[in-house]
Chain A
Amino acid sequence: GEDVEQSLFLSVREGDSSVINCTYTDSSSTYLYWYKQEPGAGLQLLTYIFSNMDMKQDQRLTVLLNKKDKHLSLRIADTQTGDSAIYFCAESARSGGSYIPTFGRGTSLIVHP
């Protein structure tokens, strides 16, 4: 199976909260990341969390980490149409002495009025 798993699609109404879920496999991951990709563009870092934390909040974004279950989630409060994009979860995989982000396949968030 894949190292990082995410559901492929999520549809929400404007103004509602969005919750994007992710499971990962590498228990030694020191950092876990959320990136956003808009059409025709590269990935852009949204936020990251250190593995000894269980929550991080940044304005409308809340990241929850359950290390025991290897589960990461991203909550976007008051979702706007501009939040429509693909959201990637990434764990830190050990490679050549360093920790390299390994990405999931991305969750397409569709926000409708």
Chain B
Amino acid sequence: DAGVIQSPRHEVTEMGQEVTLRCKPISGHNSLFWYRQTMMRGLELLIYFNNNVPIDDSGMPEDRFSAKMPNASFSTLKIQPSEPRDSAVYFCASSTMTGTGANVLTFGAGSRLTVL
């Protein structure tokens, strides 16, 4: 397996533009997570899906952020409109979550977003 695939790896955009980040999880994993990493806040969980259904989106900063998982092999994180304070590295991770065993996440390489 190629691991968790994220695109784009780098995105530079202007304030007000729409940004879409994409993620392909590991085949067979039933859970998908979006995290944001910044120097100020560290690694924050934005949202996670279980079997393509959003379970907890309490970490999504505001209505400008939305995430979808239309099928088991694809998810998007959209920011519209983007603002400079959204600049961060966004990570997607997937796992086989059983509810009882260890929940070991496999991370993608991240998408570095810069909003000017």
The chain A residues found within 8 Å of chain B, CB to CB, are 2, 31, 33, 40-45, 48, 50, 88, 92, 95-106
Is A48 within 8 A of B104, CB to CB? yes
Interface size on B, residues (CB 8 A): 24
- Interface flags for B8-52 (1: CB within 8 Å of A; 0: not) read 000000000000000000000001010100000011010010100
Q: List 27 A-B contacts (CB under 8 A).
A: A31-B102, A31-B103, A33-B102, A40-B109, A41-B109, A41-B110, A42-B4, A43-B105, A44-B107, A45-B105, A45-B106, A48-B102, A50-B102, A88-B43, A95-B55, A95-B56, A96-B48, A96-B50, A96-B55, A97-B55, A97-B99, A98-B55, A98-B103, A100-B33, A100-B45, A105-B42, A106-B43
How many angstroms from the CA of A48 to the CA of B4 in the assembled complex? 20
CB within 8 Å of A: which of B59-116? 91, 93, 97, 99, 102-110
Interface of chain B, main secondary structure = strand
What are the 10 A-B residue pairs with the smallest beta carbon separation, nearest first? A42-B107, A105-B42, A96-B55, A103-B43, A96-B56, A31-B102, A43-B107, A95-B56, A42-B109, A48-B102
CB distance from A87 to the nearest CB of B (A): 12
Interface of A is mostly: strand
Q: How far is the CB of B99 from chain A (nearest CB, A)?
A: 6
Complex contacts, B56 vs chain A, CB 8 Å: 95-96, 100
Cβ-closest chain A residue relative to B31: A98
